Amino acid sequence: MGAKSLTHSAGQPERVREKTPRKATTDNAQIHSKRVENG
């Protein structure tokens, strides 16, 4: 959700969001998991 908010605030078209590399999504997922574990 955070990544979508950043993209939306940046004013980039949805096309760019679709072309976002999977690595970015994976990194966000890992960061979220780490935050949950630390929390």
pLDDT at 35: 72
Enter the pTM of the model.
0.26
Count other Cβ atoms within 10 Å, centred on residue 28: 15
Q: What is the pLDDT of residue 28?
A: 73
Is residue 20 packed enough to be buried (19+ CB in 10 Å), middle (13-18) or exposed (0-12)?
middle
4 Cβ contact list (under 8 Å, min separation 6):
17
Whole-number pLDDT of residue 30: 76
For residue range 2-39, list pLDDT tens digits in order.
Answer: 555 555 555 655 666 666 666 767 777 777 777 766 65
